[in-house]
Amino acid sequence: MKVNEIITNEIIESLSKEIIPWQKPWNSIAPKNIVTNREYSGFNKLYLGTLPYKFPYFATFKQVKAKGGSIKKGAKSEICIFWNIKERQVENKNGKIETKKFPLLRYFKVFNVEYIEGIEFDKELFETNEIENNEIADNIINNYLDNESIEIKNGSNASYNPVSDFITMPSKEIFTSRSGYYSTLFHEMAHSTGHKNRLNRLEATKFGTEKYAKEELVAEITSCFLCGKTGMKKESIENTKAYCQSWIKALKDDKNMIISAAGMAEKAENFIVNGEK
C-alpha cells in the first residue's frame, strides 16, 4: 500500500468514528523531535499534534537507541512522512538523455516521549504555562489584517470575498464562546491567504467539488494551527455525522488531499503570523 493511502486510511478511520482529527482540541505545544528539538512541519505537524498524548514530543527508535535509551514494551509507533527525491535518466523530446528528479513519498515511525525510557530530557520542556489567549489572538489578527489591508465587515454569516478582498463576520457578541469566534475568524483569514496577491491558491470553485473541499480543508487545518498557537481549542462542528461523511468521500476520491492540504495550511499559518510566502 502506498504511503498516501496508509495516511488517508487512518484519517478515514477516525472520521468513521465521528472523530475529526483536524478539529481535536489542539495541543498548544508544537509537536517536535525530542532529540533534535526541531518542530515537525506540514502533515506531520497536523497529525502528531492531534494525537492524545500529554506532550507531543517524539523520536525514532534509532535516535532513542543512540542516546542510550529504550522503548517500552508494547509501545505504539506513529507515522511521519517525508519526500525522497530520486533521479532517473529519461529521454527528452529531442531524443537526448537527461536527468530528471522525481519526488517519492516515504514514511518512518516515531515514538512518543511517554514510551521512551533511560534518557534524561530538559524538564522545562514539560512545564505548561497559562497563555493569554485573547491578547495573542488579537495581535495575530490585527497585524495580519493591517499589513494586508483586509477589512472585516459585519454580517449574518462568516465568509471571505476574494473579489473585493474582505471578510464578513457576525459580531463577536452573538457567538456562544470566544474560541468559537476566533476559530471562525481564523478560518476566513486562512481563505484570504489564497488571494492572488498573497499565496495565489484560490480558484473559482463550486460547492461539492473536489477543489472546494480541499480549500475548506486547508482553512480548517489553518484555523486549528492558529488556535494551537494562541492556546485555544478549535470549536467543534455541528451535525458531526454528516460532516464526517462528506470528508470521508472527499478523502476517498483523492488520496493525496490530506497531505497536500496540511502543507498548504502551514504556509497559510506562516503567512498570517510572519508574512512569509
The pLDDT score that the predictor gives to residue 155 is 82
**Same domain (yes/no): 107, 141:** no
Any domain includes 255: yes
Domain span holding position 244: 133-274
Any domain includes 238: yes
Q: 0.85 cut: is pTM over it? A: no
**Same domain (yes/no): 193, 215:** yes
**Same domain (yes/no): 163, 107:** no
The pLDDT score that the predictor gives to residue 236 is 58
Task: Give the chain's domain count.
Answer: 2
- Residue of 49, 52, 59 lying closest to 27 (CA atoms): 49
The pLDDT score that the predictor gives to residue 195 is 95
Any domain includes 61: yes
Q: For residues 215 and 203, give the distance between their C-alpha atoms in angstroms, rounded to a whole number.
A: 9
**Same domain (yes/no): 80, 159:** no
**Same domain (yes/no): 138, 225:** yes
- The helix-helix angle for 257-274 and 42-49 (nearest 10°) equals 100
Helix locations, the chain, DSSP H: 3-16, 42-49, 61-66, 133-148, 178-192, 210-229, 240-253, 257-274
**Same domain (yes/no): 149, 265:** yes
Strands 97-112 and 77-91, bridge-based pairing: antiparallel
Half-sphere exposure in the Cβ direction for 51 (13 Å, CA):
24
Half-sphere exposure in the Cβ direction for 14 (13 Å, CA):
17
- Residue of 143, 164, 138 lying closest to 153 (CA atoms): 164
234: which DSSP letter?
Answer: P
**Same domain (yes/no): 250, 227:** yes
**Same domain (yes/no): 142, 270:** yes
Phi then psi for residue 228, to 5 deg, are -65, -40
Any domain includes 7: no
Q: Of 85, 106, 126, which residue is a domain's last? A: 126
**Same domain (yes/no): 49, 66:** yes
In order along its 277 residues, the chain shows pLDDT tens digits of 677 787 788 778 877 877 666 665 445 577 899 999 999 998 898 888 878 788 889 999 999 999 999 999 999 999 999 988 888 888 778 878 888 888 888 999 999 999 999 998 888 788 765 444 578 899 999 999 999 999 999 887 889 999 999 999 987 877 767 788 898 999 999 999 999 999 999 886 665 677 888 898 899 889 988 988 887 776 655 555 666 777 788 888 888 898 999 999 999 999 999 998 8
The pLDDT score that the predictor gives to residue 26 is 41
- Residue of 42, 49, 44, 57 lying closest to 25 (CA atoms): 49
Q: Of 93, 126, 159, which residue is a domain's last? A: 126
Q: For residues 174 and 276, give the distance between their C-alpha atoms in angstroms, rounded to a whole number.
A: 33
Q: For residues 213 and 76, give the distance between their C-alpha atoms in angstroms, rounded to a whole number.
A: 32
As given in the structure block, the three cell numbers for residue 35 are 532529540
Q: Label residue 5 left, alpha or beta by phi (over 0 means left) and psi (-120 to 50 means alpha).
A: alpha
**Same domain (yes/no): 186, 236:** yes
Any domain includes 170: yes
